[in-house]
Amino acid sequence: MKFIRQCLQTLHRDWRSGELRLIAIAVIIAVASLTSVHFFTDRVRQATETRATELLAADLVVGSPDPIAAEVISQARTAGLTTTLTTGFRSVVIAGEKMQMAEVKAVEAGYPIRGKLRIAASLFGDEMITDDLPEPGTVWADSRLLQALDLEIGDNLNLGASQLAITRILTYEPDRGGDLFNIGPRLLMHQTDLPTTQLILPGSRVQYRLLIGGDMDTVQTFRDAVEQQYQRQLRIQSIRDARPELKTALERAEQFLGLAALVSVALAGLAVAMSAQRYAVRHFDHCAIMRCLGAEQATITKLYLTQLLILSISASLIGSGLGYLAQAGLSALAAGFMQDALPAPSLRPIAIGLATGIITVLGFAMPQILRLRNVTPLRVLRRDLEPLPIKNKTTYLFAIIALALMTPWQSGNFRLTFFVFFGMLATGLVLTLCTHLLINWLNRLRSRVGVAYRYGLANIARRKNQSVSQILSIGLGVMVMLLLTLIRTDLLENWRDRLPLDTPNYFLINIQPDQVDALQVYLQRHGAQPSAMNVMIRARLAAINGKTIAPDNYANEESRRRADRNFNLTWAAELRKSNKLVAGTWWDENSTGQVEFSLEEEIARELGVNLHDRLTFTISGQEVTGKVTSIRWIDWDSFDVNFFVVANPGALDGYPGTWVTSLYLPPEQRSLVIELVRTFPSVTVIDVDAIVNQVRIIMDQVIRTVEFVFGFTLLAGLVVLLAALQTTHDERIRESALLSALGANRKQILASLIAEFLCLGLAAGVLAAFAASIIEAVLAEFVFRMEIVINPWVWLIAPLICLLLIVSGGLIGTRKVLKTPPIVALRNG
Amino acid sequence: MQSTSKTIVQTENLGMQVASPEGQLDILNDINFSILEGETLAVIGVSGSGKSTLLGLMAGLDVPTQGRVILDGTDLNGLDEDGRARMRNQRVGFVFQSFQLLASLTALENVMLPMELAGTRDPESEARNRLAEVGLAERLQHYPNQLSGGEQQRVAIARAFAGDPKILFADEPTGNLDQKTAQQVIDLLFKLNRERRTTLVLVTHDPTIADHCDRSLTLAGGRIISTT
């Protein structure tokens, strides 16, 4: 207790003398920016996911081939979650003489929990949003079913033992299924009519689904509990598990936000490290006196660390409070682009802010504070005796441990975080090395320049470690600014451009081989440009390396599902633009004979398939075996026709299949679809306009959020700039006073300061341009998976901004230099 | 001492007050004396007696709250900071207790600095000569932290004499040195002073060092209590 009181007293004294203020401000701003980012992204993420969940019709879906256990339903309801049940199955629908296999879904009140149903009053008529459901005794059918059965609104159809009246055309249901190519014509009916159909019998293939809605935390808690209890019986899906297109968009969003937050953390750490350095230097005398009066090294360490801990907790709490206020302002701004009100923020960011503040202070300030224990008591006699500078390794070790502990919270993705973290570390090391080389080179110019520049260059070279950190931190700050402006535009616009206005919004499937040519001619005649035609052959994965596939061999539910399903195989001579090889090589165009397969990377991982494995597929009772020669990443949000498994040309010749293509039709050409299905009755048209729009909205939201997040990162960069200038402030004042004592006039002192700031600015600018180009390339390659584009303007703008910031900031920061009488500065020094 | 010499420093009713929590604090009060060209004067007194403040005012490093200092015929009160800097550059040399070398510059560059600021031609060869005079010809490219305390003070002395100043102010020049080194530094300082016929004002609390000077001026509580 006595010790804590002593710490508080010291803290109070240091605070009064202003020595801790910069550290506190750095922590407050860092935590404020971090927590506001977390508060805000937390809410935006919730909102974005809510929007995305519309495509699942719920926040969470629990699926089972058996009726959902009553306990599960009551568990959800007890937790305060909204629930509704759907029953899905395939059945033949009969109308007069005609029959058609349809995907039937029986729903009850409350469906859909997320998103809306869309219907039309006539075939291909105007679409409208509805909150209604089919009344008992009626059904809503999609246009394909009506076309196939030659029915109209008002007609009856037979489903099992019951006869139902068609009252609406079903144009869109949010959860119509994940695999676009496996959708049959849809039929929506009321749950109460289900028993009379007598279709649900023991052994029937039925998919019972419990749709769940509620706040994210409750949903997650429920998910965790159910997953644990019914691991093997139930299939649980949230939006991320459902649609690959949205999954990619959301993952990108998280990656980008995580990356931005990570840069904020790194910058905040730098600011704290620099402030701590100044704090430590200013406490050498104090510690020397304490040591002289008998304080043990451990006492010094304990005293200062406790003091820092108290400071970091207080500053973090203040920062979290400010962060909360800041995000409230942001949310008000965001109201303009968020269609729905943002959900309330959770309190998690406060905990993150607190932990981040403490870890940042301890991780980045500790190396400096530990120097204090090594202050020799002899310093009371000889003030030039300073403790050994911290070894770089120690600094890095502390910083790395601190960052490593903090980073996973920033993005919520360990793999990405550590990838980015080590990327940053490697970049940091390379940049440090470059800065050292740059300073050495500048120092060599010293003998060829005038006194002001000589003094400036000499200062940079002498305070090499400080100069390196100043150049690095300011360079990194400016790099963030560049990312915020130029590169953000480059990358994000490019990303948005990948979903251009003419992104395919219709898929045409079930094209018979003899219809391919006629369909192409037909589409060309009507001015529609389909993408390439691809053959689609239904196959079942029978064996991997000769070992028969059994879904039960897989522990993971998703893998079991993958192993249990049919694949659509195709062949291709060339790698599609929306695909990128991640392993292996693409086959030679002319290669024949051997069967080769290329797999999508995620499905390969889930099925445990590696490069060079031999896969056996069963196609219409025949087996085809081939070697996996490449693994691909697919850009799902390109809306290109893509396949999990692609074979080399010739490998699938002779196997029965249909063809598939995609095309873009503007709204005014929609009537072409009606005509097309009349001309080619067996061709199925799938409208993906809603999904394309959904992805587009998410992209826009992400881009705007990223702008906000980078705004805070920029703020952190500016704090670093201040801290960097503050580090050498005292020394600069003393030395300028000395120059004045030796007869330098204001102009000469100013010239020497400007010379130093110019050199620092130039070095930081070059570094910022270099780092920004590297990051741009890394983001392009690994996050956005697109061609690397380097913006040449970076090399002009970065040095200019750095010069402007450092020279103006430096001069403002050192204006005291020119105002302090030399005797005062010399006496204090 | 030469009675025909002209006055190089003259103080008239010099006073210095600073604000403190207890109100105005008198650091110096009613200081009147003059120093002749070529004279050596020791300003002695206990700690806090106002010695260093007086030196700072005489050298134009600070401005008094009362009275004035006339340095080499110029009233320092009539000059702005740049004017005083010019005056220091052209006519004044300093030796400080804590050496006050610029850590980023080599010994040679430190000595060149005042000459470069004054725009002297070929400051480098002049600086080399000065450093050779203080016995540091072999240490030209060393940085201050690579030199011992005595060597650092010798660099400071070489720098102080670099621009051929008329008057040299030394503030406790041996305060940070051991006895043997202190004696060597004092001998060097007085030797160069004699050779260059510079006026030397030396602040010290050591009577044996004061004994080297022509005159002594004792301060106590911010007032002159005796002159010898």
Q: What is the DSSP code string of B127-175?
A: HHHHHHHTT-GGGTT--GGGS-HHHHHHHHHHHHHHT--SEEEEESTTT
pLDDT at A486: 63
The arithmetic mean of pLDDT across residues B67-95, rounded, is 88
- Asked whether the beta carbons of residue A462 and residue B56 sit closer than 8 angstroms, the reply is no
| Chain A residues in contact with B90 (beta carbon < 8 A) | 743
Q: Which residues of A touch B145 (CB under 8 A)?
A: 384
Least Cα separation, residue A453 to chain B (angstroms) = 12
Q: Do the Cβ atoms of A743 and B52 come within 8 Å?
A: no
Give how far A11 is from chain B: nearest CA, Å.
Answer: 22
Interface of A with B (CB under 8 A): 382-384, 451, 454-455, 458-459, 461-463, 735, 738-748, 821-824, 826-827, 829
Angstroms from A283 CA to nearest CA on chain B: 19
Cβ-defined contact of A458 to B105 (cutoff 8 Å): yes
CA atoms within 13 A on the CB side of A658: 15
pLDDT of residue B2: 44
Mutation target vs B (from A281, A443, A742; most B CBs, 10 A cutoff): A742
Instruction: Please tell me the distance from the alpha carbon of residue A520 to that of residue A676, in angstroms, as a whole number.
Output: 11
Residue A64's pLDDT is: 84
Residue partners of A505: CB distance under 8 A and separation at least 6: A639, A664, A665, A687, A688, A689, A692
- Going from the C-alpha of B42 to that of each of B54, B73, B203, B204, B211, the distances in angstroms are 12, 21, 6, 7, 8
The structural domains of chain B, with segments of one domain joined by +, span 7-227
Task: Give A-chain residues touching B104 at CB under 8 angstroms.
Answer: 455, 458-459, 461-463, 735
Backbone angles phi, psi at A79, to 5 degrees: -75, 0
pLDDT tens profile A31-86: 777 777 677 666 666 666 666 666 678 888 888 888 888 889 999 999 999 999 99
Note the pLDDT of residue A182: 47
Nearest CA in chain A to B123: A451
B113, B167, B172: best to mutate for the A interface, most A CBs within 10 A: B113
A826/B85 Cβ within 8 A: no
Domain B7-227 has CATH 3.40.50.300: yes
Q: Is A741–B100 a contact, with Cβ atoms under 8 angstroms apart?
A: yes
A235, A459, A551, A579, A607 from A559: Cα distances, Å:
12, 62, 8, 22, 6
pTM of the model: 0.58
Could you tell me which chain B residue has the CA closest to the CA of A381? Answer: B176
Is residue B217's pLDDT more than 60? yes
Name the more confident of A322 and B129.
B129
CB neighbour list of residue A776: distance below 8 Å, 6 or more residues apart: A483, A487, A490, A491, A788, A789, A790, A791, A794
CB–CB contact B62 A824 (8 Å): yes
Distance CA A196, CA A137 (A): 10
Please provide the size of chain B in residues.
Answer: 228
The closest alpha carbon to B62, from B98, B88, B96, belongs to: B88
Residues of chain A with pLDDT below 50 are 178-182, 334-340, 392, 829
Judge whether residue B1 has pLDDT over 50. Answer: no
- Tell me the chain A residues in contact with residue B63 when contact means C-beta distances shorter than 8 Å: 821
Q: Taking a C-beta distance cutoff of 8 angstroms, is the pair A93, A158 a contact?
A: yes
pLDDT at position A529, please? 77
B105/A455 Cβ within 8 A = yes
Residue pair A306/A347 in contact (Cβ under 8 Å)? The answer is: no
